[in-house]
Amino acid sequence: MGLSRAAFILALALAACSQPQQAADADLPPSPKSGDEADMIAQGREIADRECARCHALASGEESPHPEAPPMSELLGRYSADALNEDLIDGIKLGHEDMPQFDFDIATADALIAYLKSIRIMSSPE
pLDDT value of position 96: 64
Within 10 A of 44 (CB to CB), how many other CB atoms are there?
Answer: 23
Which residues 6+ apart lie within 8 Å of 112 measured at CB?
A: 44, 47, 48, 88, 104
This model's pTM is above 0.75: no
Per-residue pLDDT of the chain (126 residues; tens, 9 = 90+): 444 554 444 444 444 444 444 444 344 444 445 678 999 999 999 999 999 999 999 987 889 999 888 899 999 988 899 999 998 888 876 666 777 777 789 999 999 999 999 998 754 444
CB 120 within 8 A of CB 73: yes
